[in-house]
């Protein structure tokens, strides 16, 4: 029994010595991450409109608001899309030749049937992107 205790003690000491970290500094790596929002090329000649609306039915910021924001941002013709979970408010800027308020409403509703768009207001009527 004494022999087994010595083996266990020596093993634990060796593990402890081998597991200790040295004072080497951690290597810092920088990586580039492309933005999902502006990964598509915007047409410089497009005419954009801005709208704000309320989204009812969201229950969390990451699962609901961010999912809706990403779906909207990926749409062809969407210049920008933000969803504010706390205020249940969304703001989008879109190319009027590719998107319209009804399409945007449908996209939000298609994410989940619990989401509904209310009180959509056009904040900026169509304007030139330049």
Q: In what order do the strands lie in the sheet with 89-95?
A: 78-84, 89-95, 47-56, 116-128
Q: At what angle do helices 101-111 and 66-73 cross, to 10 degrees?
A: 140
Element (H, E) at 70: helix 66-73
Domains of the chain: 47-128 (3.30.70.100)
**Model pTM score:** 0.64
The pair of structure tokens assigned to 88 is 């249940």
Residue written as token pair 């169509």: 126
Query: H or E segment at 123?
Result: strand 116-128
The tens-digit pLDDT sequence of the chain (130 residues) is 788 888 888 887 777 666 655 555 545 544 444 444 445 677 778 889 999 999 999 998 888 899 999 999 999 999 999 999 999 999 999 999 999 999 999 999 998 889 999 999 987 765 544 4
């Amino acid at each position: 029994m004494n022999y087994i205790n010595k083996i266990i003690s020596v093993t634990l000491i060796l593990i402890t010595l081998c597991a200790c970290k040295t004072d080497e500094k951690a290597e810092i790596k920088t990586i580039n991450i492309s933005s999902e929002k502006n990964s598509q090329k915007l047409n410089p000649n497009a005419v954009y409109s801005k709208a704000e609306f309320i989204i009812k039915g969201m229950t969390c910021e990451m699962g609901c608001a961010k999912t809706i924001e990403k779906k909207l941002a990926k749409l062809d013709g969407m210049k920008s899309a933000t969803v504010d979970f706390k205020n249940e408010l969304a703001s989008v800027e879109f190319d009027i030749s590719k998107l319209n308020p009804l399409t945007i409403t449908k996209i939000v509703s298609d994410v989940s049937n619990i989401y509904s768009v209310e009180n959509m207001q056009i904040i900026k009527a169509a304007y030139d992107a330049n």
